[in-house]
């Protein structure tokens, strides 16, 4: 009986491992990208997070890499306020001092909210 329970537990752990390996997070992460530009009239950058996946996402945190002239690059984190719809985009704006060069903006983290139904044609 103990052997059977042990084998069942190992099988269950193996199935959990397989399910975890197939989690949608990695596929969704590959379907996300950021487009941004420096704002001329303000000390900020603005842009969009694009979501080409079937999942609505939220709690999107951006990593903004900047550099002061003559210094090493530094990173700061910023939130995207709102949820990015599946197959859609969402606007963001982040304050950045004019004296800092913006090297790049990437997605640091996000949370899956729900899988949205595919668009239906008439």
The Cα–Cα gap between 58 and 105 comes to 17
Residue of higher predicted confidence among 120 and 26 = 26
pTM over 0.85: no
CATH T-level assignment (fold) for domain 31-115: Immunoglobulin-like (2.60.40)
The whole-number pLDDT of residue 63 equals: 98
- Calculate mean pLDDT across residues 90-105: 96
Q: What is the mean pLDDT of residues 87-110?
A: 96
For 1, counting Cβ atoms within 10 Å of its Cβ (0-12 exposed, 13-18 middle, 19+ buried), the class is: exposed
What mean pLDDT comes out for the span 82-106?
Answer: 96
User: If you average pLDDT over residues 97-103, what whole number do you get?
Assistant: 95
In whole angstroms, give the CA distance from residue 20 to residue 48.
30
Domain boundaries, the chain: 31-115
């Amino acid at each position: 009986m103990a052997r059977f329970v042990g084998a069942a537990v190992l099988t269950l752990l193996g199935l959990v491992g397989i399910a975890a390996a197939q989690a949608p997070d990695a596929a969704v992460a590959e379907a996300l990208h950021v487009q941004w530009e420096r704002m001329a009239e303000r000390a900020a950058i603005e842009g969009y997070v694009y979501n080409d996946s079937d999942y609505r996402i939220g709690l999107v945190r951006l990593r903004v890499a900047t550099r002061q002239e003559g210094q090493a690059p530094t990173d700061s984190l910023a939130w995207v306020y709102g949820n990015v719809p599946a197959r859609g985009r969402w606007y963001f704006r982040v304050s950045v001092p004019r004296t800092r060069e913006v090297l790049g903006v990437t997605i640091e983290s996000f949370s899956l909210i729900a899988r949205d139904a595919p668009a239906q044609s008439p």
